[in-house]
Amino acid sequence: MIINGNTKISQLLKENSAALDAITSLAKPLEKLRNPILRKLMASRTTIQQAADISGCDVEAFFLALRPLGFESSNAPVIKAITPDQPTNRPDWLAALVPQQIIVFDVRETLSRGYDPLKEILAEYKKVQPGTALQIINTFIPTPLLRLLENKGALTYSETIAQRLTYSYFFKPIQVNDNKKATAHVKLGDLISTVDEASFNAQLGRYAVDQIKEIDVRTLEMPAPMQAILEELEALSEEHGLYVHHKRIPVYLLEDLQASGKYRVFILPITEGRVDLLLTHNSKFKRGKD
């Protein structure tokens, strides 16, 4: 198989399962791929180049490790964000901003400690005034975050500055198209809804007491909460619901559940550091409405 920096990890594993040992031996962050749940979540969306950026490895190290398994590297260019030495390709809204119109937020230290900076990023974006932007300094392009804030009306752009260094910009327009925002919300709400307490309890009431599996992941460190939820969903029958006590909305997980189309999720924000979730099979929800 001919590979390059754009080749997905899932393609490597499909071609030769021994690629898993070769990849995970390169760096400690890549050992997470040994977890079957995380592997299923990450492999299909991560390229060799992205895995190299996240782990601090050189792409050539991947090619050397995979070569004994029959993989051959090509010279195909890696598809990645435009760097600042090509400023003419930046969007007009970014090129027009002056430094005083950009709030800079560096999340690399937070990530190095194993914490998810999503809550802090959303708080910083909330401070952004219309006509200005938030700049996130990160070690990789945060694609789920880009999609999340685009759904909130932001204009986004990412550029790779160096290995394990990216700048992502989130611009808040002066005028937001309300119709566009409403459409995005309806699309997200097809399977995922933020509800009030009465609506949440009404959904819980569709189940008998012994049909609800309840778990509390608030004390778990990342990525354990996501692993616990996915493991429970794997074992969840169509007649049961999963009731989760969480300390934050698990945006990355919800994005994948939305894409799968298999589950319906109800979100009840309670207090700072406390969110309840009810997850049910979408087929069960449809039958309940018929």
Do 269 and 219 reside in the same domain of the chain? yes
* Out of 67-71, 113-117, 162-166, 183-187, least confident range: 183-187
Confidence of residue 190 (pLDDT cuts 50, 70, 90): low
What's the angle, vertex CA 25, arms to CA 24 and CA 28, rounded to 5? 70
Looking up residue 259, the CATH number of its domain turns out to be 3.30.110
Q: Which residue has the higher pLDDT, 7 or 251?
A: 7
Instruction: Give the pLDDT score at 287.
Output: 53
Confidence of residue 16 (pLDDT cuts 50, 70, 90): very high
Answer whether residue 275 is part of any domain.
yes
Residue 245 gets which letter from DSSP?
E
Do 62 and 92 reside in the same domain of the chain? no
Answer whether residue 179 is part of any domain.
no
Do 20 and 61 reside in the same domain of the chain? yes
Answer whether residue 26 is part of any domain.
yes
Work out how many domains the chain is built from and give that number: 3
Which pLDDT tens digit goes with each residue over 27-52?
A: 887 887 888 777 777 787 788 887 88
What's the pTM? Answer: 0.45
Q: Which of 275, 253, 276 is nearest to 263 (CA)?
A: 253
Instruction: Give the pLDDT score at 139.
Output: 85
Do 146 and 202 reside in the same domain of the chain? no
Q: 70 pLDDT exceeds 80?
A: yes
Do 157 and 212 reside in the same domain of the chain? no
Answer whether residue 180 is part of any domain.
no
Using a 10 angstrom Cβ sphere, with 0-12 exposed, 13-18 middle and 19 or more buried, the burial of residue 184 is middle
Which pLDDT tens digit goes with each residue over 201-215?
A: 999 998 999 999 999
Answer whether residue 145 is part of any domain.
yes
Answer whether residue 79 is part of any domain.
no
List, in sequence order, the alpha helices (H) in the chain: 9-15, 19-24, 36-42, 48-55, 59-66, 92-95, 108-112, 118-127, 143-151, 178-188, 197-204, 224-235, 251-260, 282-289
- Residue 238 belongs to domain spanning: 189-289
Q: Within 13 Å, how many C-alpha atoms sit on residue 71's CB side?
A: 27
Answer whether residue 230 is part of any domain.
yes
Answer whether residue 78 is part of any domain.
no
Last residue of a domain, one of 27, 51, 73: 73
Do 204 and 279 reside in the same domain of the chain? yes
Do 216 and 256 reside in the same domain of the chain? yes
Do 250 and 282 reside in the same domain of the chain? yes
Do 68 and 91 reside in the same domain of the chain? no
Do 58 and 102 reside in the same domain of the chain? no
Last residue of a domain, one of 171, 198, 231: 171
Mean pLDDT of the 122-147 span: 87
Do 69 and 91 reside in the same domain of the chain? no
Last residue of a domain, one of 145, 171, 197: 171
The 3-state DSSP class for residue 158 equals strand
